[in-house]
Chain A
Amino acid sequence: MQPEEIQRKLKNVQTLPTIPPIVTKLNEMVEDENTTAFQLGEVIETDQVLTSKLLKMVNSSFFGFPKRISTVSNAIVLLGFNVIKTLIVTSSIFEVMQASDLGLWEHSLGCATAAGILAKKRNITNPEEISTAGLIHDLGKIVIKAELPDEYNKILNLVKEKSIPMRDAELEVLGVSHETIASWLISNWNLPARLVIPVEYHHHPHEAKEYKNIAAICHFADILIRALGVGDGGDPWVPKLDHDAWELIKFTKKEIKEVIKEIEDRLIDIEEFAEEMQGLSNGKDSTSNT
């Protein structure tokens, strides 16, 4: 299959989002400098299902906020509009991922957690954006699985038969790999380069034209979370390190141990948190009906 053909196929994707109308409206509002987070929050909160999904995500421990965020406008203030917009656009993809590939979901959550922690260690501004980039970095894999199931099965078989990394198998079967596919998709979402570049370059961050250090953080977060054996990225192996990128962010042994401790602690929280939020959203549903 030629990349152009894949691109054509993916144009009519079923499971993946075209941009929800609400995001178009929010984008217009953001253009106006006078729009406040409160006003944006109000618009989002007209959609209860979206609001509950969004609050669940922003309260996930991978962002690491110690206090519960209970309103959308608060979430916008704390996380920034770009993060909120990304979570809205991708929420349907994550539902597909949660239902059909729990291992990849855990890998994504883990990578988000690691990326945020590593970004903070390097004093990168708005680490929540880097977490969000980590969360969506493997989005291309779920696109392949959902939209090109025959090719996806061929890829899985190749991984097994030849013992090669999933990305190599993708290149063999499709001629492109998941990060390129993801970049086609998210280029339509009007997201800032800080979020798009780490997704597109998470396997070869030194090739990024800007935000190399952020791409490098996502790259290393992916490596670290696979090394720790959290979740399932499609094959069991730690990917190759981009040494030029590593030079930009280099973590010492002591730093890495601190990072691992924080990741392992948060991973335990992630699950407890899911339970807590389940109770919360059940309670919320019953009050909203009255």
Chain B
Amino acid sequence: MQRISIKRAEPGMVLAKDVMAPDGRILCGKSTKLTPEILERLSKIGVTSLYVQANKKQSAQILKANLAQLKMRFEKVKDDPVLVALMNTIGEYWIEVQKG
């Protein structure tokens, strides 16, 4: 199971967890195969990330996407050595988790 930004989620990916509203209503159930329509709907509601199932190859792709987004989020603070170290630590952590 991997967390992925909704911006990077792709049709065909399968949800590993229910997507829920704050009041506990299920917006989209576990095991649902994502379609462009579902992604658009969830994105409109304001859902920002999803947990999806992934095999080894997909996992590697998701990790790559997550690392790219991580870098993008640090774009405005890339001259700050403390924050760059934080970015690297997060990246390292994700890579370690992937390896298991």
Which residues of A pack against B, CB within 8 Å? 98, 101-103, 105-106, 165, 223-224, 226-232, 236-241, 243, 246, 253, 256-257, 260-261, 264, 267-268, 271-272, 274-279
Inter-subunit contact B48/A257 (CB<8 Å): no
Inter-subunit contact B45/A102 (CB<8 Å): yes
CB 8 Å contact bits of B36-54 with A (1 = contact, 0 = none): 0000000001111101000
Query: What would be 12 A-B contacts, judged by CB atoms less than 8 Å apart?
Result: A103-B46, A105-B22, A228-B90, A229-B49, A230-B48, A232-B46, A238-B74, A240-B77, A241-B80, A241-B82, A274-B21, A275-B20
Inter-subunit contact B24/A274 (CB<8 Å): yes
Interface size class of B (residues with CB under 8 A): 35 or more
Inter-subunit contact B85/A253 (CB<8 Å): yes
Which residues of B pack against A, CB within 8 Å? 3, 5, 17-18, 20-26, 45-49, 51, 66, 69-70, 72-77, 80, 82-83, 85-87, 89-90, 92-93, 96
Inter-subunit contact B82/A246 (CB<8 Å): yes
Inter-subunit contact B72/A236 (CB<8 Å): yes
- The distance in angstroms between the C-alpha atoms of A268 and B50, with both chains bound, is 10
Of all chain A residues, the one with the shortest Cβ separation from B87 is: A227
**Provided the pairs A246-B82, A253-B89, A268-B17 are in contact, do residues A238 and B22 lie with their beta carbons within 8 angstroms?**
no
Inter-subunit contact A98/B22 (CB<8 Å): yes
Closest 4 CB pairs of A and B: A278-B24, A102-B46, A98-B22, A274-B24
**Provided the pairs A256-B89, A275-B24 are in contact, do residues A238 and B48 lie with their beta carbons within 8 angstroms?**
no
CB-CB < 8 A to B87: which residues of A? Answer: 227, 238
- The distance in angstroms between the C-alpha atoms of A215 and B20, with both chains bound, is 31
| Residue from B5, B22, B45, B75 within 8 A of A274 (CB atoms) | B22
Inter-subunit contact A275/B5 (CB<8 Å): no
| Residue from A238, A246, A274 within 8 A of B20 (CB atoms) | A274
**Provided the pairs A103-B46, A103-B48, A229-B66 are in contact, do residues A264 and B25 lie with their beta carbons within 8 angstroms?**
no
Q: A25: shortest Cβ distance to chain B, in Å?
A: 28
Inter-subunit contact B77/A106 (CB<8 Å): no
Of all chain A residues, the one with the shortest Cβ separation from B77 is: A238
